[in-house]
Chains A and B, each alone.
Chain A
């Protein structure tokens, strides 16, 4: 299957700071990538669709000014959590589609803890 990486895998930051998470497709190109958030023992929640060369599409209820997405190239999308607060602490996972049925392949996730 296709390989997607994320960096960092874990980050702890102070309230009010910004955190950048990178998502890379390692062995394929992705014009679209997806960003999810998952709170403990809850379902995956799609936050936004990252589009190479154009603006991201945000799901209802997700603040685009707080969660900045940049799809800089065909293999890289970044999610920046601006002015992070403790309630933003969560597991952030990206995915990129590839192959049959546009199967989504997930990165390993980034665990964010805001103190």
Chain B
């Protein structure tokens, strides 16, 4: 069965410091991975996907199949980056649909 692990519940960094939010996955097929973000009082929204290989709001994430990881990185944290971040794996459920499996999330707090 597929699984997504985010080992840190809370990550605090100072403004301007580098950020790395860790995500590891377990999946027997070819993985499609995403990062979702939830800012305070807002709904869950897509931040980036590994297929597009783009940088969104300064964040990047590289899929490392050897280490089964998809860590989210940003070189210089900003206060507005403070939010809840979820790593998610898109996979076949085995019961008729493709679905997202989410990690437990990491709360990023950027200290001014």
Answer yes or no: do A and B interact. Answer: no
Task: List the interface of chain B (C-beta within 8 A of A).
Answer: none
A residues in contact (CB < 8 Å) with B: none
